Amino acid sequence: MASSSTRVFGNYCRTLMAAAKTSTATAPPTPTTTATTTGKGRYKGILKPVPISPALGKFVGANEISRTDAVKKVWDYIKTNNLQNPANKKEINCDDKLKTIFAGKDKVGFLEIAKLLSSHFQKAS
């Protein structure tokens, strides 16, 4: 296969491949320069901070937060307090603080976290 591509492209292909090997990697784009922002660094979608319920606000310590940051803070709390079930890593054992934001449930599956948190975010009007 390589010999047929060499016949078609000749030395041109080798030149391109050699240039790609010697190029230096650039730094990944920062969140403010990606397509998830609009205008002057304002976030949109799930990265946009929105008003939250008082229960979630007390948990995260803010009146507004983005959905992604809320999930990150919940996971940080779960890992810090070792609340993941060691026998079944997909299951979270809720303490009293987590029960306030997870509708009083004793155990929550990790796939349920985003669904249970969605009720704490105000709908866009």
pLDDT of residue 110: 84
The residues spanned by each domain of the chain are: 45-118
The pLDDT, as a whole number, for residue 77 is: 93
CATH number of 45-118: 1.10.245.10
Check residue 35 and give its pLDDT.
Answer: 44
pLDDT along the chain (125 residues), means of 10: 57 57 54 50 79 92 91 93 92 92 91 89 70
Torsion sign across C-alpha atoms 38, 42, 47, 49? negative
Strand, helix or coil for residue 85: coil
pLDDT at residue number 32? 45
Q: Rounded distance, CA 99 to CA 43, Å?
A: 30
Please report how the helices 2-9 and 11-22 are oriented relative to each other, as an axis angle in degrees rounded to 10.
100
13: nearest Cα among 25, 22, 4, 23? 4
